[in-house]
């Protein structure tokens, strides 16, 4: 088992009466809900925090928790300076946990059903404008042309394909790292992507990204080792590329481009969505391409594009 997939026990340093339910819930999230490892770790940490708070108040039984306990917990987080996003996520974790606990008969009522948390700020990090995006791909082309030996060129072609695919398809870094060669449908110009919750979707692949991917796959044997299997992208040790390596590649590439903000792979996903909506794509299509379960998650990008429209109006309209 990959050690990154292992779930930390959320029950450590928790009253014995609270621990068994947390361990059972962690198993439920993994084997029944099939949540991603980082999501499970976040939820485990959230509930361990709640359990520690309850234990400090002398509560050692989930069935004794009421709505006031949960509100006191969120208020304590706020007093300690927790970010609004953290408080909102922990409230969500509590609602998910208690809904499961009621459904499995572990508690008689759901104290989190009406739990409210401060609305998380919905601000996007800085993103690439179109000029900076063009500069990124010009830099990548120059790097390929300047490569002095086949292996160096293979690394440059791989990095270019990574950036192209991230931007063309709006993939999460975990989705990019999980790509297999059999998932590219060249005839239909689609990539099959396995996203959150192990859900599969097909996303269109732009022509420049197709060319970059084909160029990389042609030289992939120079880097791929026996452990590579069918993965599309490999690290320099020859196995499936690690998300941390992809993040380093993206940061280093953008750092070489004047006026480009310091972004990671998720910043390219934001840029793709924003540029699609600015170009006239409908929200539902963008939702499908990004693999968002809820249209509400995608709607944040309409806020960004609307703000840009307002800025353009204020700057250009004589009666703004």
Residue 143: active-site member: no
User: Of 95, 139, 240, 301, which residue is the catalytic one?
Assistant: 301
Q: Is 38 a catalytic residue?
A: no
How far, in Å, CA of 188 to CA of 281, rounded?
20
According to DSSP, residue 31 is labeled: I
Q: Which residues contact 32 (CB under 8 A, 6 or more apart)?
A: none
Active site residue 266: yes
State the catalytic residue, choosing from 139, 220, 240, 292. 292
List the catalytic residue out of 33, 196, 201, 308.
196
Round to whole Å and give the CA distance between 65 and 127. Answer: 43
167 touches 275 (CB < 8 A): no
SS3 labels along 74-141: HHHHHHCCCCHHHHHHHHHHHHHHHHHHHHCCCCCCCCCCCCCCCCCCCCCCCCCCHHHHHHHHHHHH
Active-site entry in 172, 240, 270, 275: 172
What are the φ and ψ backbone dihedral angles of 199, each rounded to 5 degrees?
A: -85, 135
Q: Catalytic one among 89, 158, 269, 275? A: 269
Q: Looking at 71, 78, 251, 266, which residue is catalytic?
A: 266
Active site residue 172: yes
Per the CB < 8 A criterion, the answer to whether 185 and 192 are in contact is yes
Residues that are catalytic: 172, 196, 266, 269, 292, 301
């Amino acid at each position: 088992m990959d050690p990154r997939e292992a779930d930390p026990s959320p029950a450590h340093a928790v009253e014995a009466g609270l621990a068994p339910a947390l361990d059972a819930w962690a198993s439920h999230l993994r084997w029944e809900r099939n949540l991603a490892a980082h999501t499970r770790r976040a939820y485990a940490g959230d509930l361990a925090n709640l359990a520690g708070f309850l234990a400090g108040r002398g509560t050692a039984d989930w069935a004794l928790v009421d709505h006031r306990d949960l509100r006191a917990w969120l208020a304590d987080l706020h007093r300690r300076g927790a970010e609004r996003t953290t408080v909102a996520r922990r409230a969500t974790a509590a609602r998910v946990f208690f809904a499961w606990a009621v459904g499995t008969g572990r508690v008689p009522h759901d104290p989190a059903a009406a739990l409210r948390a401060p609305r998380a700020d919905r601000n996007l990090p800085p993103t690439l404008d179109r000029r900076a995006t063009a500069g990124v791909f010009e830099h990548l082309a120059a790097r390929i042309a300047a490569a002095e030996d086949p292996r160096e060129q293979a690394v440059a072609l791989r990095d270019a394909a990574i950036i192209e695919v991230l931007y063309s398809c709006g993939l999460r870094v975990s989705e990019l790292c999980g790509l297999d060669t059999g998932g590219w449908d060249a005839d239909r110009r689609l990539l099959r992507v396995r996203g959150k919750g192990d859900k599969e979707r097909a996303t269109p692949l732009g022509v420049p990204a197709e060319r970059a991917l084909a160029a990389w796959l042609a030289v992939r044997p120079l880097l791929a080792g026996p452990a590579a299997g069918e993965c599309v992208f490999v690290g320099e040790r020859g196995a499936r590329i690690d998300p941390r390596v992809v993040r380093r590649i993206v940061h280093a590439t953008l750092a070489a481009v004047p006026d480009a903000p310091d972004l990671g792979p998720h910043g390219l996903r934001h840029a793709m969505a924003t540029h699609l909506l600015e170009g006239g794509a409908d929200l539902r299509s963008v939702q499908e391409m990004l693999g968002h379960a809820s249209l509400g998650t995608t709607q944040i990008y309409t806020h960004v594009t609307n703000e840009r429209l307002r800025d353009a109006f204020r700057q250009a309209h004589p009666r703004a």
